[in-house]
Homo-oligomer: A and B are copies of this chain.
Amino acid sequence: MAAAAAGKRDDELTFVTDGLGADLDALLVFSILRTHSYLSPLCEAALRDRRITGAQFNALLLLRSAGKAGLKMGALGERLVVTKSNVTGLVDRLERQGLAERAGTSDRRATVVRLTKAGRVLMDRASPRHAAHLAELTACLSAGEKRTLIRLHSKLRRELRQLRRQKKGAA
């Protein structure tokens, strides 16, 4: 029975999936979305001291990897899996906080975003602590369970990326 696989009855997920007949697929999708609901705010909590959000942290992480060459707005959006209009606002706020900066390119349509010195300093301080915090959040799972989750998520994501591209092509 699907409900048994999901754990005890006190898992509030069953409240939601009750309404969909609690079949395996609905249960899986809701399970993933619901885990995100718990995980995402808990990840952000540790960043609050630094006055940045989870979305900002992820953007800064990518910008740090990109080094002084920076990343084009579009590339940033692609890697964060968000729309370009979202990137505009996100970078606006990072710029306002002095953590990142825009710069023009030879292609005058394009803009690159780079970490500022302040941004680099913040990330060098925040990211080890953040990594430690993520380890705490997932401490209840064994290394094997983590690897299994990573593998299955990767498999699912590969498929979802395909479906997403199909939709985009059709539109």
Residues on A lying within 8 angstroms of B by beta carbon are: 2, 5-7, 11-13, 15-16, 18-21, 23-29, 31-43, 45, 58, 61-62, 64-65, 78-82, 127, 130-131, 134-141, 143, 145-161, 163-164, 167
Classify the interface of chain A: helix, strand, loop or mixed: helix
- Between-chain CB contacts (< 8 Å), 30 pairs: A6-B151, A7-B158, A11-B157, A15-B65, A15-B79, A16-B62, A19-B62, A20-B131, A24-B150, A25-B138, A26-B131, A26-B134, A27-B150, A28-B134, A28-B141, A28-B146, A29-B39, A29-B134, A31-B153, A32-B35, A34-B157, A35-B157, A42-B164, A136-B163, A137-B160, A137-B163, A138-B156, A140-B158, A145-B152, A148-B152
